[in-house]
Chains A and B, each alone.
Chain A
Amino acid sequence: MSEELIARVIEVIAKTQKIPSESITLDKTFAELNIDSLDGLNILFALEDEFRIDIADEAAREIHSVREIVDGVGKLVAAKSQTANP
């Protein structure tokens, strides 16, 4: 889990939710950040744009915290670079 990845994810959440990025830490849950289901969809959509990844519906349902987002996005980005550079 690179610092750069964490920072980029936090930036996307901050921008989408219109909240200061300082208020977002790895251990915060969606509930603590007042992120509801519709906000969550918006964040995933923005993350797909930012990282050029495709987040599956079933995976999306399992995400409830900043750490889970960073983990999930990290895996998808890694999988993508593997396919790109065999």
Chain B
Amino acid sequence: MIPRRVAVTGIGVVSACGDTFGEFWTAMAAGRSAIRPMTLVPPGSLRFPNGAEAAQFDPLRHFEEKEAGFLDRFAQFTAVAAREAIRAAGLQIDVALGRRCAIVTGSCSGGQTTQDNNFLSLYATKGRVSPLTIPLVMANSGASRVSLEFGITGPVYTISTACSSSNHAIGQAFWMVRNGGVEVAITGGSDAPFALGFLKAWEAMRVISPDTCRPFSRDRRGLILGEGAAMFVLEPLDRARARGAAVWGEIAGFGMSSDAHHLTQPHAEGAAMAMRAALADAGAAPEAIGYINAHGTGTQTNDATEVEAIRAVFGAHADKLPVSSTKSMHGHALGGAGALEAAATLAAMRSGLIPPTANFTEPDPACDLDVVPNHVREAEFEWAMSNAFAFGGLNAVLVFRR
């Protein structure tokens, strides 16, 4: 069969920048960073004081009390974002469509808050853990919740590839819809890393900035962790048009690669290979791309390596290509990062506004691209790219079309 074009007809977000896609995009379009002192862990317990927490998120606004207790924070994010996306798409999921619908989510770390609280109970206080620990910690608990809530009985699974998780998930969902494997897909990703044990592990990696996240800036000092989820409804473009659904844009290409280089050091060649694969999958020339939402973590190594990879793929076009990192505003939400960035990229493409790289102070010769420093920019473009590169050397790149 002829591959189908795949439209995004619904977007839902929970993030440090707000509990809805609308609030999230308002913050992105204003260049407003949500990086603040952390409140979910005791102050002074870590070398780094700041994070991008979804501080306004109140589970009891979205779930009955008992229900909330059956979901870790990251899965609550998934469910709330999925509801918003499905509602926005105007999707009625009956039994027949439920069978032809997939859910693919990404999560790096699953139910860290639940695991931390229960291990504290085990080792420090009660000597035992709750029977809910396993079903709350499992990385697929968000996807399973959405399946239960909406009666979705088709393929449901979760991909865990660290910081590339949600790009891998969205890419898989996109391919399933494109090749007719399913009629509709609910996809995206989520993480909630603000649990002391997990944060201590990040501290030991020495990659967290002691102040803020300044991607591509010469004085960047590391990443800032964030949390949240973004979920999307994907369906064939023809189907979306036939039912009069609003289309945010298309997912047009997906490419992946593995560095086979180092467990934690990035590698320009692997990143470039994934970008080229995504362009080829989309049938787009490099010159067609009008904006890149970068992986842009704000570590010295990632940003310089990513710029090297972008130059390798785009050649002279790289000098005319705006590249920004919205992690400077919503933080690095790990397995949720690619999904939040896909939401930002789709909104940017639709509204003709490029979200900036916030907190930018001074140019770095090793990152000599147009990184859209600090101020939102008006720009019309038809094609965009979003990068995700993970520890373990796993790269996943999406290409979008207006």
Binding site for B on A (CB under 8 A): 36-38, 41, 44-45, 56-58, 60-61
B262 x A36 contact (CB < 8 A): yes
CA A28 to CA B264, docked complex, whole Å: 24
B265 x A57 contact (CB < 8 A): no
CA A38 to CA B391, docked complex, whole Å: 11
Is B263 among interface residues, defined by CB-CB distance under 8 A?
yes
CA A37 to CA B301, docked complex, whole Å: 11
Count of chain B residues near A, Cβ 8 A: 12
B393 nearest CB across to chain A (Å):
12
CA A37 to CA B263, docked complex, whole Å: 10
A41 x B262 contact (CB < 8 A): no
CA A60 to CA B208, docked complex, whole Å: 13
Is B197 among interface residues, defined by CB-CB distance under 8 A?
no
Instruction: Provide the main secondary structure of the chain B interface.
Output: loop
Using Cβ atoms and an 8 Å threshold, which residues of chain B touch A38? 262-265
Using Cβ atoms and an 8 Å threshold, which residues of chain A touch B60? none
CA A60 to CA B221, docked complex, whole Å: 13
CA A6 to CA B263, docked complex, whole Å: 30
How many inter-chain contacts with C-beta < 8 Å in the A-B complex? Answer: 24
Using Cβ atoms and an 8 Å threshold, which residues of chain A touch B221? 57-58
**Which residue of B47, B222, B265 contacts A37 across the interface (Cβ within 8 Å)?**
B265
B200 nearest CB across to chain A (Å):
11
A57 x B222 contact (CB < 8 A): yes
Which A residue's beta carbon lies closest to that of B301? Answer: A37
B276 nearest CB across to chain A (Å):
27
Which A residue's beta carbon lies closest to that of B205? Answer: A41
CA A38 to CA B204, docked complex, whole Å: 11
CA A56 to CA B203, docked complex, whole Å: 11
A-B contact pairs, 24 of them (CB 8 A): A36-B262, A36-B265, A37-B262, A37-B264, A37-B265, A38-B262, A38-B263, A38-B264, A38-B265, A41-B204, A41-B205, A41-B206, A44-B206, A45-B204, A56-B47, A57-B47, A57-B206, A57-B208, A57-B210, A57-B221, A57-B222, A58-B221, A60-B206, A61-B206
Which B residue's beta carbon lies closest to that of A55? Answer: B206
B385 nearest CB across to chain A (Å):
28
CA A37 to CA B265, docked complex, whole Å: 8
Using Cβ atoms and an 8 Å threshold, which residues of chain B touch A36? 262, 265
